[in-house]
Every structure is written in structure tokens, then in C-alpha cells.
Structure 1
């Protein structure tokens, strides 16, 4: 299966590539949506503005033809403005989840930001969310094996170094925010059920204040941070030990291996078994001989 990618825009839209002020005119207008299998709405500025009527009509018509529609980050606001998400689950970047819920109260906003699929509609947070959604669609179209191979091709060469850099950044942020004791407390209880009030009690603050501090200094809510910490520990156990996935799920606080696999795939684009195979430390020449 081959994919034809069309870059489409509403009438009069021009994209300016910074810092070069040269305007870029997209090759397709809204008629480019005709015959599409998937419409992907990217992040864009001005998400609080009402989308043009022609854009809303084109998206509604696409949905009426049974086309899958995906939206990334602030692009979710455009999809929500059509009314197509009313009564459905959706998500966006953590900075905009409250705003999305306020502007579109008929949505059920998922705060985690990982890919949410509800019927023919898929939404996710920004930054790497576009990659997550494309891998999700690829898995639906071509199966888990092809999606996993693609994810490893895209992610594996960068993942280990990226993890080391992120660990350093996270440590510096935590040291300056006063959350360090609570973070260490959480990380010592990854195998246990921990509630938001319990985390707030340990930090000696209210749940609302705790959530604001976590979002400011980590980009996540406390429970989102806990999920990421559990996945990070699962990744460590997968690469450094031979512990079965079933035991890793228990050690990292997931109620079952299936729940671990679901969250692991949402955050990494691959499965625990494939991650272990791709990241298993290779013996050095000295160890080999």
C-alpha cells in the first residue's frame, strides 16, 4: 500500500516559513480532500479563531463520506468546531486541555494527550503527536508488524541518547521546583496504586496547587508524570533484565500486562517485546572474544 500525501488549505491561506519571509502556497485547496482516506489537521496558530465556514463544511462532508479524520494539538480545536466530536472523547496538548473543555463542553477531554480514537476520529497532543497518529493509522492499515518496524526505523537510532538528555533536563527542573522529594517518593512506589490526594498530601499542598506546579515544571499532571515514570522503569527493565513482561507489569504498577502494552504502545509507538529486542544491549568486541 502506498500513500499519496496532499497538502490542502482553505481559500486565501498562505504559510510563511520563518525566519525566511518567502510565502509558501500549498498545492491543493479544499477540493483536495475528495477521495481521501484520511484527513489530518495539523497544529496551527490562531486556534481560538472561528475556522472558515468552507473548512468546516469540507470536514463535515469528509466525515459524511466515512473518511477518517485525525487532528494534532491545536488542530483539535478546528475539528471540535465542526461539532463532529460532540459526545466523543478527544485530547490535545496539556497546555490547552482545559481551554478545549471550556470551549467545547460536550467533548470528553482526555488529559493524557496520547492518541484517542473514537469512531472515525483520532486526536493527540502536539510535538510528536503527529508521528503517534501516523503510526496508529499505519497499524490499522498494515498491521502491528509494519507499524512496529516503521517505529523502530524512526525512533530507535535516537531514543537512547534522547533518554539520557531528557533525564538530565528533568533532574535540573526538579531540583529547582521543590518537587524533588515528591518525585523521588513517587518513583519509589511505581508498583503501588497512588492517588492524586495522596501525592498532594506528601507534597503538603492542595491537589489543584500540586497539579499547577507539576504542569509548570514537568509539562504533565501528577498522574501523567506517574504514568511516564512507570513506562520509563518498564523500558529499563526490558533492556537490562530478562524479567517477563507479566512481572514487569506488576513491578511498574499496571493492573495487567495488557494495560502495560496499551500504555507502552501509546507512549513509544511499539510493544514491550519489540522494544526489548531493539534496545537489548549488544556485547562489545572484548566481550565477544
Structure 2
């Protein structure tokens, strides 16, 4: 039986916590016997999901649940730009090192441990070399790219809601998107959209043709 560990951190979007279980359950229905063991591994063991309608969830496993997993699925979370909790990056590096598959639910997750392992670098060295080349850490670069794309969508896709844009550019929640956008621009996404919206065209003023009489209803000379 294949062991799949879903790693969730504080601020995980609720749908990214529930979707893997729903998908694996659907797959298992068509298989004989127990196809999968799904472990919910939370660090810390009790986490709160992202707004709106935040829920408190206590998992059966902590980071130790990754040790014998065949696949590790990393869920997004609001604090993806912060340093991960102690032991998480090391556990992911160990998983990659033993040939474990590492995947992500949605976007917004940190995968530096996986990238560094493939490059045969430590996460610290990867960060240092990336910063030397771009002037930013990998996560700062990713955030800037997401916000740049969000600005383009706000400017050119008037039909997309703020929630739609948050998902399309890779934020774990619309609240996280709004917070980072305001920090970067000093404006909310909605205010930014209003500020850059093209002004309504103004109809040109009527001009009299040479030799024409006065406008209808106007005074005659």
C-alpha cells in the first residue's frame, strides 16, 4: 500500500487540505483492496486554515509522518514567504534524497528544498546564489512575479474578480493576495483597478460646417 503524506502548515487554504483526500478516495474506489494510506501531517500538529471561515484542525501526524512516505504532497499556506517551521525543510530534503516523490497542491508552496536537492546545493547556498544573480531571494522573486501578473490582470481583465486573480497568480487565499498587494503598491487591488481603468471616451464637440446655418434652436445672426 502506497503511503502519501499531505504536509500542511498554519494558514493552509481549507480546500487544499480536503482536496487530496477527496481525489484519493475517488481513485481508491476503483482499485481492489487498500490502494493508499493518506497521512495528514501538520506542523505544528494543530493548525488553523486560511480565511474566510477559518477552522482549527489537529492532525494525527507531525513532520515524522514524512519519514516512510512514498509521496509527499505540500499544501499552500499564507506564510509561504516566511521560513518554514523547524524540521520541515530537512524532512523534505530527506524525502527527496531517498527518492520520494514530492508534489504540491495548487501554488504558493515552497519547493526550495526539492530544487536545492536536484542542484546538489543546500537551501542556503541556493538562496545566496539566486540573490547574487537577481538581487532577490527565490521567494521574493516569485512574489514579485505574481504581483506583476496580478497588476496586468487588474489592468486588462475587467471581468475577473479579485478572488479569481488571487487564484490565477498563485496566492493561497484572496486575503493573502490583498495583504501582499497593499504592501507592494500602497493600494488595495480594487483601488488599483479603479485608478488604472481607462477613462470613458468624451464625445467631440459639434463644429459648424462652412456655410451652414445656426444649430437647430440656436439664435440667428
TM-score, normalised to structure 1, is 0.30
Q: Which has the higher contact order (CA 8 A, sep 6+)?
A: 2
Structure 1 or 2: larger helix share? 1
Which one has a bigger Cα radius of gyration? 2
Structure 1 or 2: larger strand share? 2
